[in-house]
């Protein structure tokens, strides 16, 4: 597993991975993490990409999902704040694998790649190394569940969870964050789905599943 920033021999440093799983997938009617693209479950695709930039990779999930995700053969971390959404997943991953840096990724971005993750890391390195770096889609939507976080973000995360403040963007607002535009990613194939595409409905899944990337 690779922990380098970029492909040009830049400084290497330890990054732990957090694979954020769980969630109710209400609109889909099935667990989005297990939907297959090119014969591979979405969560396995994300795990493989994350494993290229982070080690170890920990699956943050509730007790209900643990057996379903055991096929990944990755360590799992149960939420200490059950029912508190993705913030609890990030917290569980940070708590389970002590590190200076963490790269988080949600399990339902089937087209995210290691190259796109490295693009975020490269932008972070050039920016002066802030506490966090997350991507912004071409439509201007921030994807806070995919990105780099320093351990210094953990205290504010614990406060937010303890106070029941569960909006990820509210937590992000209290951090020094680099927002990385998707447009700058040179590795995107013309016509291919965005690496930030989140599939939420059966109709969206049928369309996305036609791609073999």
Show binding-site residues.
20-22, 32, 79, 108
Rounded to the nearest 5 percent, the helix, strand and coil shares of the chain are 35, 20, 50
C-beta neighbour count of 6 within 10 angstroms = 14
**49 and 110 in contact (C-beta within 8 Å)?**
no
Point out the annotated binding site for Mg(2+).
108
**17 and 67 in contact (C-beta within 8 Å)?**
no
Residue 65 CA from chain centroid, whole number? 17
C-beta neighbour count of 97 within 10 angstroms = 18
142-147-149 Cα angle (round to 5): 120
**34 and 59 in contact (C-beta within 8 Å)?**
no
Residue 204 CA from chain centroid, whole number? 20
Point out the annotated binding site for GTP.
20-22, 32, 79, 108
């Amino acid at each position: 597993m690779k922990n380098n920033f970029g492909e040009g021999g830049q400084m290497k440093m330890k990054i732990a991975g957090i694979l954020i799983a769980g969630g109710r997938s209400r609109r889909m009617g099935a667990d989005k993490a297990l939907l297959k693209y090119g014969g591979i479950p979405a969560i396995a695709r994300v795990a493989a990409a994350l494993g290229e930039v982070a080690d170890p990779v920990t699956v943050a999930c509730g007790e209900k999902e643990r057996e379903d995700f055991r096929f990944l053969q990755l360590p799992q971390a149960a939420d200490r704040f059950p029912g508190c959404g993705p913030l609890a997943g990030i917290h569980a991953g940070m708590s389970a694998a002590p590190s200076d840096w963490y790269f988080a990724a949600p399990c339902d971005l089937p087209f995210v790649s290691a190259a796109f993750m490295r693009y975020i890391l490269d932008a972070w390195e050039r920016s002066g190394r802030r506490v966090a770096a997350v991507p912004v889609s071409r439509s201007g939507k921030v994807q806070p569940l995919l990105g780099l976080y320093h351990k210094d973000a953990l205290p504010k995360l614990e406060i937010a969870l303890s106070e029941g403040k569960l909006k990820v963007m509210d937590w992000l607002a209290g951090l020094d964050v680099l927002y990385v535009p998707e447009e700058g990613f040179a590795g995107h194939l013309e016509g291919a789905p965005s690496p930030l595409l989140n599939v939420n409905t059966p109709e969206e899944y049928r369309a996305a599943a036609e791609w073999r990337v």
